[in-house]
């Protein structure tokens, strides 16, 4: 169960969040928990989760190891503060910061090289769904992005299916719609990396997941977990998602 805080929460807000969240998540052995705060709050988050099973991730990662890339943060910088995961290719990065399948692949490889577990996002826009192109979009994102990984690299990633029309809009994909998309992605994995990889890979659903819809989503065998934006900002709300 992953939380993406987007551009919310200072270090002080982060410490406050975990004071509330830690005890509420204390009995959550059924799942892994990762919270992805903004870069400037990573260190506060790592401090706050010390000694717990909660892990901390970045929301993005540079594709280069170092260099003249103003505003970027490298994998080594992220691991140096104690984070273990990195979201790659979030739809807000694709939409507002020109992220492409090619850069998603490069960032995913950089995360793996740094020893971070990448959470790689794919998902169609509303007009793509409405024009009947969901499957084609997911296949293209997989082929141009994820499929560039070696088998060994692929075994270390988590995929997040995040339909763009469901992110931050309050419109959740029905469990059936989400499961259908997960099947499309898993079929791609099977074709490229084989049955064992397809069975093993974890595919999260993301898009307006809330305490009151998480149970129905998680009842779909295809859905292995959730990537939660807005609802992960509230400690009580996110705890009830984690403890669905």
Contact residues toward ligand PEP (CB under 6 A) are 4, 6, 162, 167-168, 206-209, 227-231
Q: Which residue has the tokens 């002080």?
A: 12
Q: Return the number of the residue (36 or 193) whose C-beta is nearest ligand PEP.
A: 36
CA distance 215 to 220: 9
Yes or no: say if 112 and 79 are a contact pair by the CB < 8 Å rule.
Answer: no
* Catalytic residue (choose from 90, 92, 99, 182): 90
How far apart are CB 22 and ligand PEP at their closest, in Å?
A: 22
Catalytic one among 99, 124, 128, 162?
A: 162
Of 158 and 228, the one with the shorter C-beta distance to ligand PEP is 228
Q: How far is the CB of 34 from ligand PEP (least distance, A)?
A: 12
Q: Among this protein's residues, is 30 annotated catalytic?
A: no
Report residue 21 as tokens: 């969240």
Any idea what DSSP says for residue 230?
G
In whole angstroms, how close is the CB of 205 to ligand PEP at the nearest point? 9
90 catalytic per annotation: yes
Collapse the DSSP code of 202 into the 3-class scheme (helix H, G, I; strand E, B; otherwise coil) and give the result.
coil
Strand partners, 119: 87, 158
Q: Distance between CA 88 and CA 86 in Å, rounded? A: 6
State which residue, 24 or 233, has the beta carbon closest to ligand PEP. Answer: 233
Which residues are the active-site residues? 90, 162
């Amino acid at each position: 169960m992953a939380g993406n805080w987007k551009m919310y929460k200072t270090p002080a807000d982060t410490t406050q969040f975990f004071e509330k969240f830690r005890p509420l998540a204390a009995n959550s052995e059924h799942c892994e928990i990762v919270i992805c705060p903004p870069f400037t709050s990573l260190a506060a988050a790592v401090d706050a989760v010390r000694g717990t099973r909660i892990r901390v991730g970045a929301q993005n990662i540079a594709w280069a190891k170092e260099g003249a890339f103003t505003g970027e943060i490298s994998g080594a910088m992220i691991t140096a503060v104690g984070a273990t995961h990195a979201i790659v290719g979030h739809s807000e990065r694709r939409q507002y910061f020109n992220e492409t399948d090619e850069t998603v692949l490069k960032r995913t490889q950089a995360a793996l090289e740094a020893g971070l577990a990448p959470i790689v996002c794919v998902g169609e826009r509303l007009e793509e769904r409405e024009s009947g192109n969901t499957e084609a979009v997911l296949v293209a994102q997989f082929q141009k992005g994820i499929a560039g990984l070696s088998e060994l690299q692929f075994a270390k990633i988590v995929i997040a299916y995040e339909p763009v029309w469901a992110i931050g809009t309050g419109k959740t994909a029905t469990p059936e719609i989400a499961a259908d998309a997960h099947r499309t992605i898993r079929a791609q994995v099977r074709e490229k990396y084989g049955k064992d990889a397809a069975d093993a890979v974890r595919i999260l659903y993301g898009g307006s997941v809330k305490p009151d819809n998480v149970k129905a989503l998680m009842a779909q065998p295809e859905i292995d977990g959730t990537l939660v934006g807005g609802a992960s900002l509230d400690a009580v709300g996110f705890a009830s998602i984690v403890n669905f």
